[in-house]
Structure 1
Amino acid sequence: MTNQNSDFDSIIAQSPKMKKVVEQTKKFAMLDAPLLIQGETGTGKDIFAKACHQFSFRRDHKFVAVNCSGLPEDEAESEMFGYHRVGSESIGFFEYANGGTVLLDNVSDLSLEMQAKLLRFLNDGVFRRVGEDQEIQVDVRVICTSQTPLNQLVEEGKVREDLYHRLNVLSITLPPLRERKEDFIPLVAYFIAQISLQLGIVPPVYTDKFIHHLQHYYWAGNLRELYNVLYRACTLSNGTLQVEELDLPQDESTFLSLGSTENMSLDEMVSHFEAALLREFYAEYPSTRKLAQRLGVSHTAIANKLRQYEINKE
């Protein structure tokens, strides 16, 4: 993980999956086409988006991050493209960021109508302010993020298929923390240094057993959850970090800690629990057909779910 003002060189990536993603993203950063960054909550999608901006020729221009979940549906178009009314007018964030980069966080939370307007802008770079007929053209790199794979949201009718195909040209998926075991040692050292500085304490020491325990936890909240757990442990520490101070659920494959749910939506928590249940049942019913029969759903649905959550036979 990295701080807000850092670049790719400060992203901890010793695991093969992270190394590959960083190298791929560096290549994408230099292009103008829309970029799609997917990954679970807390995996650092916003950090990668910011790093892309800093790595590109647009680094001296604005970087505007927009949380699509927080855009009121009746104001989304005005916020995005601006408006002109009698006696007042305002520019939208695309116009404001001209020459720079716009990050659309949780792009799937835009209404289908707004997705259509976004698609038109992505295709030709022009838009109209609300209340105006004049077309405005701007030069903006658009980066979109999604916690749920967009192809799944297309099947659910929540994302336009044409927008998905437009965004899926340049796309990366950030690996979850549980698939980055080689990164735990430098990540823990980095977080503890940060936390100790913030708390004004001498950085506590810890053992290999402590790291091993962290490596074998599920981490539904990924980097964000790891930071929160370490913060709590550091506040309780008498100089040495103990496994008992982590306060992690005993059955970490199923239960969510408070730290992991802090910034998770209901859909994300349901997805985590669904994945945990599928892992348990798949161990007991080790074929997709048996599993589908046990859970009362179609074979195709189960196959799609196992693929979505990357659940394989042990």
Structure 2
Amino acid sequence: MPKTVTFEDPTGEGKPIELDVVNVPKNLDDYEARMDHIPTADPYYVDLGMLYRLAALEQVRRNHFDDTPLHLALRGHMGTGKDHDLEQFAAVLEMPHYRIPLTGEVRDITLIGSVKLHGDGKGGTESRWEDGDITRALRGPALINLSELNAAGAETLFALHGLLDRHQAVELPTGEMVRLRDDVRVFGTLNPTDLRDYAGTQTLNKAFADRWIIWEKDFPSEEELTAMLTRRHSGLRSEYAVLIAKLAAEVNASFTSTDSRTRVETPMSLRTVLDRIPAGLRMFGFAKDPLRRTWEEMVLPHIDPYDRDHYETVWAAVARTGPTKAPF
């Protein structure tokens, strides 16, 4: 029998979802390389409901839409964990994961491929086709994450149209049609363009956007951040975890505010909350106020000078001073 995994709804509302893991055929030419692309499960990952939603969509795709493309894009601000969610979904399903950033510098030949010259062993050269990033991923089971969708140039988006609509194929210059296999899933991530100017991003072309289901990925709540900190840093005193989570929640609430006069312009990402601040607390645990010292050394340097007053306003309103006990 095929191996299965079960996804539980963190809210307790939905029924458990059972899915077969992905089988990578051993006769693939790139079997070993593809197996190396299966991510390792993050033992500290906290599913806030996204894995369950992804599993629900996957169940629908397998049972009812096996011949219809249902591509999903996660839209959210920097540091909300969009790419990590997709990576961990691939890890649970034991699915090769290919994250392909679509920055403005990426060309269609990088994604699709090109003809290159190689030595023929006789002192001459010969032309050979070399797959690009997407074409290579499409030749076997894969979860493809087209990261930063709205940073892609027009020619890149045009090259992807046929893959993402009912045609479900990429036509190579060689004449080969690389079709979307039934064990390949195409996802994307993008930043919002309505509130902030993420360098190089743009509003998605409507025809291209229509090829996607788009879900919003919000910043975690204070309670969710506390759970993440507690799981990842089990030795962290609870008063620190609660205060860090409250600071982050307040900063991010200000970031998403529509009042441009008072809002902060840089959010507190999960990297700051889960990595930089705990690292700082271990470094400055000897200080009179370890959290304040960490705030000054590990948080404020990431903030633009004009935005520091806003951060300090949040600190004064939420913390004033940090806990006096050792952090760990």
TM range (shorter): 0.5 to 0.7
Task: Indicate conservation of the 8 Å contact 1:83/1:91, yes or no.
Answer: yes
Matched, 1:163 2:208: yes
How many Å separate the matches in 2 of 1:11 and 1:209? 20
What are the within-5 Å matches in structure 2 for residues 197-216 of structure 1? Answer: 203=235, 205-208=236-239, 211-216=242-247
Residue 237 of structure 2 aligns with an amino acid whose one-letter code is Y
- C-alpha displacement at 1:238, in angstroms? 3.5
Cα gap change, 1:189/1:213 in structure 2, threshold over 3 Å: closer, same or farther? Answer: closer
How many Å separate the matches in 1 of 2:278 and 2:44? 20
1:115 to 144, 157, 177: 157
Secondary structure of 1:87's partner? strand
What are the within-5 Å matches in structure 2 for residues 231-270 of structure 1? Answer: 231-238=279-286, 242-247=290-295, 257-259=300-302
How many Å separate the matches in 2 of 1:28 and 1:36? 12
Larger helix share, 1 or 2: 1
Match of 1:103 in 2: 145
Matched, 1:28 2:65: no
Match of 2:168 in 1: 125
How many Å separate the matches in 2 of 1:230 and 1:243? 9
TM, length-normalised to structure 2: 0.59
How many Å separate the matches in 1 of 2:160 and 2:196? 20
Deviations 1:225-248 (CA, angstroms, capped at 9, x unpaired): 112122112111149983323325
Deviations 1:28-78 (CA, angstroms, capped at 9, x unpaired): 24436211111111111111111232344xx34x21111112x634xx212
How many Å separate the matches in 1 of 2:97 and 2:194? 24
Deviations 1:59-117 (CA, angstroms, capped at 9, x unpaired): 34x21111112x634xx212211123562320122232232121111011111222122
Matched, 1:183 2:227: no
Residue 128 of structure 1 aligns with an amino acid whose one-letter code is E
Flag structure 1 segments of 5+ consecutive residues without an equivalent: 194-202, 250-255, 262-268, 277-314
Secondary structure of 2:192's partner? coil
- C-alpha displacement at 1:207, in angstroms? 4.8
TM, length-normalised to structure 1: 0.61
Secondary structure of 1:136's partner? strand
How many Å separate the matches in 1 of 2:281 and 2:87? 29
Cα gap change, 1:151/1:159 in structure 2, threshold over 3 Å: closer, same or farther? Answer: farther
Aligned residues: 229
- State, as a whole percentage, how many aligned pairs show the same letter: 10
2:82 to 41, 45, 48: 45
Moved more, 143-152 or 106-115: 143-152
Cα gap change, 1:117/1:190 in structure 2, threshold over 3 Å: closer, same or farther? Answer: same
Residue 145 of structure 2 aligns with an amino acid whose one-letter code is L
How many Å separate the matches in 1 of 2:92 and 2:241? 35
Match of 2:98 in 1: 64
Deviations 1:269-300 (CA, angstroms, capped at 9, x unpaired): 8xx97xx8xxxxxxxxxxxxxxxxxxxxxxxx
Residue 233 of structure 2 aligns with an amino acid whose one-letter code is I
How many Å separate the matches in 2 of 1:239 and 1:209? 14
Secondary structure of 2:211's partner? helix
Cα gap change, 1:190/1:213 in structure 2, threshold over 3 Å: closer, same or farther? Answer: closer
Task: Indicate conservation of the 8 Å contact 1:63/1:103, yes or no.
Answer: yes
Task: Indicate conservation of the 8 Å contact 1:104/1:144, yes or no.
Answer: yes
The root-mean-square deviation of aligned C-alpha atoms, in Å, is: 3.7
Secondary structure of 1:258's partner? helix
Match of 2:192 in 1: 148
Cα gap change, 1:173/1:24 in structure 2, threshold over 3 Å: closer, same or farther? Answer: same
Cα gap change, 1:149/1:54 in structure 2, threshold over 3 Å: closer, same or farther? Answer: farther
How many Å separate the matches in 1 of 2:207 and 2:232? 41
Residue 218 of structure 2 aligns with an amino acid whose one-letter code is P
How many Å separate the matches in 2 of 1:152 and 1:45? 17
Match of 2:35 in 1: none
Deviations 1:154-192 (CA, angstroms, capped at 9, x unpaired): xx964210111111x2x3222213xx1112333222343
How many Å separate the matches in 1 of 2:196 and 2:241? 37
Matched, 1:88 2:128: yes
How many Å separate the matches in 1 of 2:228 and 2:177? 48
Task: Indicate conservation of the 8 Å contact 1:102/1:141, yes or no.
Answer: yes
Rg larger in 1 or in 2? 2
How many Å separate the matches in 1 of 2:232 and 2:105? 35
Cα gap change, 1:185/1:10 in structure 2, threshold over 3 Å: closer, same or farther? Answer: same
Matched, 1:79 2:110: yes
Larger strand share, 1 or 2: 2
Cα gap change, 1:187/1:152 in structure 2, threshold over 3 Å: closer, same or farther? Answer: closer
